[in-house]
Structure 1
Amino acid sequence: MKPPERLIVALDVDTEEEALSLVDELRDVVGVFKIGMQLFDSAGPDIVRKITRAGGRVFVDLKFHDIPNTVSAAARIITRLGAYMFNVHVAGGREMMRQTAKATLEEAGCLGISPPRVLGVTVLTSISEQQLREDLKIQLGMEELVVEWALMARECGLSGVVASPHEIAAIREACGPGFLIVTPGVRPVWADKDDQQRITTPAQAIQLGADYIVIGRPILRGKNRREAAMRIIEELEASI
């Protein structure tokens, strides 16, 4: 995979107009555009189709977490929209993940298209180990928990996981080379940390074994967003 294809830009904006402007500006230097709740709730599902028609691949980042029937039904809809990838919370359990993976393949088969990659969200990058123990009452260590959940996601037929940079190497060792690792919490050395807790640089994330890195604010806040994206890609190229 070429360095630009590894870069996922988070379209954390309020309007369809802003999103499509970013896609137009960046689509030839970025691999995937991520649509989260902010944009999806504002612009609606059709924004996925519009970005795809404009030449961008779309990661629908809605982190589905509900009963198996509800999430598998949502997976069929996301597949119809033409998403390149989408995610569910591993904490939703094995049956939810199995039914979601199955529904995605079935729907793509009916449509005659390639199925979107289904990713399992492990632990959010804003969660610290202390919060894991004290707030969520989970006594496993962060790395042990994330690896266990990654193995469970693979067992249930998911394509990969979303995990912080700190767990990349352990997931890669446990799950092997064919399992996708999408890594948020990535910050170039010249960018602010913001509210992320478990972070690393783009080059470090790729060297540890990530397939994709997700970056939003360091690009969106830049005076020249294309230049910011190119700086990140140059860092990736130097690391490979």
Structure 2
Amino acid sequence: MQEPVFIALDFKDAQAAWQFLKLFPTDVRPAVKVGMELFYQAGPSLISDLKDAGFDVFLDLKLYDIPHTVEAAVRNLAQLQVDYLTVHAAGGRDMMMAAMAGAQAGAEKVKTSAPKVLAITQLTSFSETTMQATQLVRASMTESVVHLAHLAADSGLAGTISSAYESKVIHEAVGNRFLSITPGIRLAGDDQGDQARVVTPREAAVKGANGIVVGRSITQAKEPLLAYQQVVTEFKEGLTK
């Protein structure tokens, strides 16, 4: 089963997010991604309201701390009944295994399914040169991402967040059941912004992405509903290639 197209709700507050979501009819409930900016402003109540309104929620907080702290944080977040959440693979196997334990414990407490935990590999704002200079490594982008994907898979995570340029090698390294969810998506002709490794929805699917995260190409479009439908259509077309 392919994962959905996630709309990144990169808004300053809950009011702006709901104003945007009201542009979608009640029979269209796209999966949404809530990141640090919005969650830190609006808090857990926003997640509860989104779930009550029928939206699948991807909570993207990129957790990275000692295992005990991450386990406790994920246990709390899982009780919000989010569908997906993220941790940094660079936190290591022990931290990621702790995240999995927290996800299960939190879900059991509210009698729901545990969220799919996804590992951040390398940010799509990083070029290979920037990654090497920042992290003081000689590994190529591909080598680094595959190494981190292996750590995530060995820790029991559901998949990774990485550029679509790495989707194929991730699947070759750890199998096709391991999800590759990819940000850095733009419709053709849209501004690249602060992303360094950008592809279109169709290209992401052709390269092996199981799901995509799309922000500005939808949220800043003149007609967001039409833009969302275009993204979904292009992604599905790419899956058939």
Q: Following TM superposition, by how much is the alpha carbon of 1:28 offset from its aligned partner in structure 2, in angstroms? A: 4.4
1:150 CA drift (Å): 0.4
Q: 2:13 is matched with which residue?
A: 15
Partner residue of 1:154?
153
Inter-partner Cα distance in structure 2 for 1:226 and 1:82: 26
C-alpha distance in structure 1 between counterparts of 2:144 and 2:236, whole Å: 32
Contact 1:164 1:183 in 2 (8 A): yes
Where does 1:53-132 land on structure 2 (aligned, <5 Å)? 53-132=52-131
Matched residue, 1:205: 204
What is the RMSD computed on CA atoms of the aligned residues? Answer: 1.5
Q: 1:222 to 1:235 in 2, by over 3 A?
A: same
Is the 8 Å Cα contact of residues 9 and 30 (structure 1) preserved in structure 2?
Answer: no
In the alignment, is the contact (CA less than 8 A) between 2:167 and 2:208 conserved in 1? yes
Could you list the per-position Cα deviations for residues 175-231 of structure 1 after superposition, in whole angstroms to 9, with x for gaps in the alignment?
112111110011111311111111111111112211110000111111111111111
Q: Deviations over 1:2-38 (max 9, x none)?
A: 6xx6210000001112212333434744541000111
The alpha-carbon distance between structure 1 residues 238 and 186, as it changes in their structure 2 partners (threshold 3 A), is: same
Q: TM-score, normalised by structure 2?
A: 0.94
> Residue deviations 1:95-121, cap 9 Å, x none?
110111012112212322111000000
Distance 1:148 1:108 in 2: 29
Counterpart secondary structure, 1:12: coil
Q: CA–CA distance in 2 between the matches of 1:166 and 1:196?
A: 13
Question: Aligned pair 1:44/2:53, yes or no?
Answer: no
Flag structure 1 segments of 5+ consecutive residues without an equivalent: none
SS in 2 for 1:25: coil
Indicate the larger mover: 14-23 or 130-139. 14-23
TM-score (norm 1): 0.94
Residue of structure 2 equivalent to 1:168? 167
Amino acid at match of 2:174: C
Structure 1 Cα separation of the partners of residues 29 and 50 of structure 2:
13
* 2:9 maps to amino acid: L
Q: Aligned AA for 2:121?
A: T
Question: Displacement, 1:136?
Answer: 1.7
Partner of 2:183: 184
Letter aligned with residue 13 of structure 2: T
Amino acid at match of 1:57: D
Equivalent pair of 2:204/2:235 in contact (CA under 8 Å): no
CA distance in 2, matches of 1:53, 1:21: 17
Long gaps (5+) in structure 2: none
Q: Equivalent residue for 2:232?
A: 233
What secondary structure, in the 3-state scheme, does the structure 2 residue paired with 1:167 have?
helix
Find the aligned partners of 2:198 and 2:226 in 1 and give their Cα distance: 22
1-structure distance, mates of 2:80, 2:142: 34
Q: Which residue of 2 aligns with 1:195?
A: 194
2: CA distance, partners of 1:204 / 1:64: 29
